[in-house]
Structures are given as structure tokens and as C-alpha cells.
Amino acid sequence: MPTEQTKKHVNQDPLHGLTLKEIMIQLFDKYGWEELGQRVKIKCFTDKPSITSSLKFLRKTPWARKEVEALYLNTEWPSKDVWANARQRDKA
């Protein structure tokens, strides 16, 4: 029989629900290829870069994927709270 604790199990992974493709698109939108190549030293960001080639490489290369995921987690992103964003605009 499940305990109260197992009923309330919440995934603690901050990347839970995000695909690698979503992560790459957001990082590319924020930094572009040149800065991504400076932040994470992998050839797929500097030599004929594309989302497709990057995903192919990252799916086969765990150490590179960890670096990209770490960059994503350490990047400051705007709040997704629509009301918080509206309040910030009202203060300005």
C-alpha cells in the first residue's frame, strides 16, 4: 500500500519535462552559435552549427550533454509568471 510520502512524490530534476531540443533552442535563442561555442567548447557549436547536428552529437556524447544542461541551469531566464512580468512593467 502506498504511503503518504510516495503519493506526494515530486520529481526533483530541474530539467524534468524539458527535451534536449527545447533546451538547445532556448540556448541558441539566448546566446547564438558564437557565444554558445565560447561557453561550451564543442565543434558542433563552431563548425557549421545547426540544432540538428548539435542534437545528434549531444545525444551520443554524455559529457557534452552535461555541459549544455549545466549551462541551461546556470543561465538566468525571464520569469514565466505572466503576472510577475506585468507587475515589473508597471513599476518601470
* Domain residue spans of the chain: 20-74
State how far the Cα of 71 lies from the Cα of 36, in Å rounded to an integer: 9
Which H helix or E strand runs over 81? none
DSSP 8-state symbol, 43: G
pTM, entire model: 0.73
pLDDT (tens digit, 9 = 90+) per residue, 23-80?
A: 999 999 999 999 999 999 999 999 999 999 999 999 999 999 999 999 999 998 887 7
pLDDT at 12: 83
pLDDT band at 87 (very low <50, low <70, confident <90, very high): low
Instruction: Domain 20-74: give its CATH architecture.
Output: Orthogonal Bundle (1.10)
State how far the Cα of 72 lies from the Cα of 77, in Å rounded to an integer: 9
